[in-house]
Each structure stands twice: as structure tokens, then as C-alpha cells.
Structure 1
Amino acid sequence: MVRMPPRTRTATPTRADLVLADIRADILNGRLAPGSRLGFAGLGERYDVSTGVLREVLPRLVEQGLATSESQLGFRVIDVSVDRLQRLTEARVALDTLVTREAIAHGDLAWEAGVVATHHTLARSGGENEAHDISEDWILAHEAFHVAILGGCPNEYLVDAAVRLRSISLVYRVWSAPAAERAHRDVEQEHREIMESVVARDSDRAAELTVAHIRRSTDLLISGRPADAPVA
């Protein structure tokens, strides 16, 4: 089971932190389907948790971009479609390239070391497990690597916005056929080239590779989606 904690964590996770990680993992691995209702009664039974804890957790999922909330309709997992994914991709391309350039321009030696260290961990993490879930080690390492790069940007508002869009994009991984994305690309080489361009402080190359990395993911996710997946 993939557990992805929120970016900000206390030293000792609270009950809400743990439930948030469990619900997030179920969304990212498709056990809570895109568009499905997140009702208090159903979630309370599923995760053995009180309504009070869920009232804290569900708005945090909305903040992370993984759920929506509407008056009278309650909470739902975000919906997915080709149109939404394409618009999300354009937003990520614009924001990630800006934040990456800012990170390269302003990141210090500690930031650079963090990028190298998280890439080292990512390179030694697994992929999918036998149940076709994305492995916990890989998804955590993958997120840590990209967030480490973005974290060199001194504008925390830009960084937070970029990380939120990354969270939303992860939902689309469950929309595609198992292993479709990783089977048709050398994602390890893509990450290595991004890391090397960042460490070399080559902002143009890093931006070019980042755009290709994001767009390649989108193209493969769309081509690998089920025939009955929504178009818009």
C-alpha cells in the first residue's frame, strides 16, 4: 500500500495524519475511484475513524487537490478526464519550468546536495508491486526528488502551487492501464538527466527536460486509459 504523507508533518503523526495518509494512498492507487463520494459514514466504517477526525482530514484533501467539496453534495475524489488532464499539464508546464529556473538561480549548496541525495534514493527504489500498486518506496522517493528540485525556489507560494498540481496529477496514474507509463519509457534516465542539468545549473536544459518529462507522462496516460474512460 502506498502511503504519501502531507508535505508538513509533525514529529509524532496524529490520528488525522495517519488517516489522511491512508485515504490519500487509496485515492492514488485507485481503491477510491475518481469522482467517488467521500461520505462520513462510509469512510468512518472503512478506516475505523470518528466523524470529528474526518472533518479535519477531508478539507486537507481538498487543499492538496485530491478532493472537491460542494454545498449539499459533500466531498468527492476529484474527477478525471482528457480535457482536465490536458489543462493540468499546461499549468504544470508553465509553473514547474518557472519554479525550476528560480530554484537553479537561487538554490544553495545544501539544496543541490538534497537534489542529488533524493535522486540517489529514487534510483534505488522499486516500481510496481505484485498487486500492480505503485510501490511505496518508489512513489515516496519520486515525490521527494521532484519536490527537492522545486524547493530551491525562494518563493514559497510558487513552490506550494507547483506541489499541489503534482498531487493532482498523481490521481491520473490509476486511470491508465497497469505499468503503461513505465513500460514505454526510460523514466530512470529522464530523472538522471534532470538531476544532472539541475546540478550543472543549466536552467534552459532543465526546463526543456522538465517539459518533456511532464508531457510524456500525459501522452502515455491518455493513450493507456480504458476505452470507457471519460473524454471531457
Structure 2
Amino acid sequence: MARGAGQQTRSEVVQDRIRADILGGRLRPGRRLKFPELSEQYGVSTGAVREALLKLVAKNLVSSEAHHGFQVTDVTARGLADLTDTRTEIESLTLSRAISEGGLAWQARVLAAHHTFEQTPRGDGDQPSEDWLIAHADFHTALLAGCANPRLRDLAASLREEAELYRRWSRPTPEETQRWTDEAVHKEHRDLLAAVMARDGERADAVLRRMISSTSGMVLDTEPHA
């Protein structure tokens, strides 16, 4: 996730702040992102804002169209279906490569990230806390870090970032509610961890695909949850 501010450029700092505001629901899907407004809000130059937005385009959190400028990526039912399908294939491939190529240091990183995730409270609101989201993302990043192909890792990461945007503006259907309890979520992640530690690619693939497919049981919600 984000590095310490002392190690970051201004564009990286503002990138993290815009990202947090998007995933926190303060910048809504479809909202136009204007340089002067963002420059004043975050106290940086328009050049730093432009650079930050371009990086967020690569993460699929911001979109850009000729003559229309930048906007927060919109969320649609079709977009969610396409994203889920693409994530399933890309993350499955990347995890398979990680299991085959990752060494002991990679396994240790996965174990540490999972421990942090398990010990991080989800929070009291309908939406997970920022700390929980970071720990969750760090665990999945660690899982894929064993893959030696950086292009696959980067592509999987960008798709997961967009999935977090959909998570912020979605809620489970009544039928899917039981799959989203804290206990159920932790069990799925433990199952995935066990398969990865055993280097059981087939089992890990099945668990991962089940986890990702659960997002297809979400209903888009135009109102913030928190």
C-alpha cells in the first residue's frame, strides 16, 4: 500500500489522498475531477494533480476521455459483470504462477500478511474500516507477489483496485448476506491460505474463483453505506 509520506513525491501523496477519497465514498462514481478544484483541495500544483490522476487511470479508479477530462470511474451492472469475469481469469493465472514460482520468503510474507488481516478489526459500520481494507488488500497483494511476471501482478492489482470501488458502492443480496459475515470471510481466507501453503494450485484456484464470484451477488447502491 502507501509508503511513508517522507518517501513520496507530491503527486504520490495526492494520488493516495484521491484514492482514499474515492474508495471512502467522498468522491462519487462519475464525478468530474477538475484540476483547479483538486489543486486547491489538496494543496498541490495542477501538474501534481494531473500526474496523480493519470496513475489512478492505470488503477481503473479514474477514467479519462478526450475533450471530457477526468472523472471517477462509474459503476454499472455491466461493468461489475465484466470486471468479475476478467478478475477471475487474471487473478487465477497470477496466483497459479505465484504458487509455482514463489519461494520460502514469499510464503513467509503471505503468512505475515494473513496474520495482520486476521487481527485487524473490520469496524462497526456497514463498510469496512480503512485499516481493514488495507490489511485485506495487503494479503491479496502478498498472495500474488510470488508470480515472477510483473505485468501480470500489475494487471491483477489494478483490477482489484477497481473491485474495491465497486465494493464501496454495492451491498450483498439477501441470499448472499451469510457469505459476507466476518466469520465466513475469514474462513474463506483461511481456506485460501491453507491451499497456498500446501502449494495445492487446484484447490487454491477453486477457493479464489469462489471468492471473486461472490461479488457477482452484489447489488449496486447509489447511496453511501457509511
Aligned-residue CA RMSD (Å):
2.2
2:195 to 163, 187, 197: 197
1:135 to 113, 116, 129: 129
Residue 45 of structure 1: SS of its match in structure 2? helix
In the TM superposition, what is the alpha-carbon distance from 1:45 to its structure 2 partner? 2.6
Residue 7 of structure 2: SS of its match in structure 1? coil
Q: How does 1:170-181 map to 2 (within 5 A)?
A: 170-177=164-171
The equivalent of 1:50 in structure 2 is: 45
Structure 2 distance, partners of 1:184, 1:122, is 12
* Alignment CA distance shift 1:185-1:216 (3 Å): farther
In the TM superposition, what is the alpha-carbon distance from 1:48 to its structure 2 partner? 2.4
Q: Would you say the 8 A contact 2:116–2:135 is kept in 1?
A: yes
The equivalent of 2:120 in structure 1 is: 125
The equivalent of 1:154 in structure 2 is: 148
The equivalent of 1:213 in structure 2 is: 211
One-letter amino acid matched to 1:154: A
Residue 52 of structure 2: SS of its match in structure 1? helix
Structure 1 distance, partners of 2:171, 2:38, is 27
* Alignment CA distance shift 1:84-1:184 (3 Å): farther
Q: Would you say the 8 A contact 1:29–1:134 is kept in 2?
A: no
Structure 1 distance, partners of 2:40, 2:4, is 25
Query: Which stretches in structure 1 are left out of the alignment for 5+ residues?
Result: none
Residue 147 of structure 2: SS of its match in structure 1? coil
Q: Would you say the 8 A contact 2:88–2:212 is kept in 1?
A: yes
In the alignment of these two chains, the number of paired residues is 218
Q: How does 1:1-232 map to 2 (within 5 A)?
A: 5=2, 12-130=7-125, 132-177=126-171, 182-183=180-181, 186-219=184-217, 221-222=218-219, 225-226=220-221
Query: Alignment identity in percent?
Result: 41
One-letter amino acid matched to 1:136: E
Structure 2 distance, partners of 1:13, 1:30, is 24
Q: Would you say the 8 A contact 2:5–2:13 is kept in 1?
A: no
One-letter amino acid matched to 1:46: Q
Query: Which stretches in structure 2 are left out of the alignment for 5+ residues?
Result: none
* Alignment CA distance shift 1:99-1:25 (3 Å): same
Q: Would you say the 8 A contact 2:110–2:143 is kept in 1?
A: yes
In the TM superposition, what is the alpha-carbon distance from 1:28 to its structure 2 partner? 0.5
Structure 2 distance, partners of 1:141, 1:182, is 17
* TM-score normalised according to structure 2 size: 0.89
In the TM superposition, what is the alpha-carbon distance from 1:9 to its structure 2 partner? 7.8
* Alignment CA distance shift 1:11-1:192 (3 Å): farther
Deviations 1:68-120 (A, max 9, x none): 11111000111111111011101011111111111111110000111111000
In the TM superposition, what is the alpha-carbon distance from 1:44 to its structure 2 partner? 1.9
- Tell me which stretches of 4 or more aligned residues in structure 1 moved more than 2 Å: 8-11, 180-185
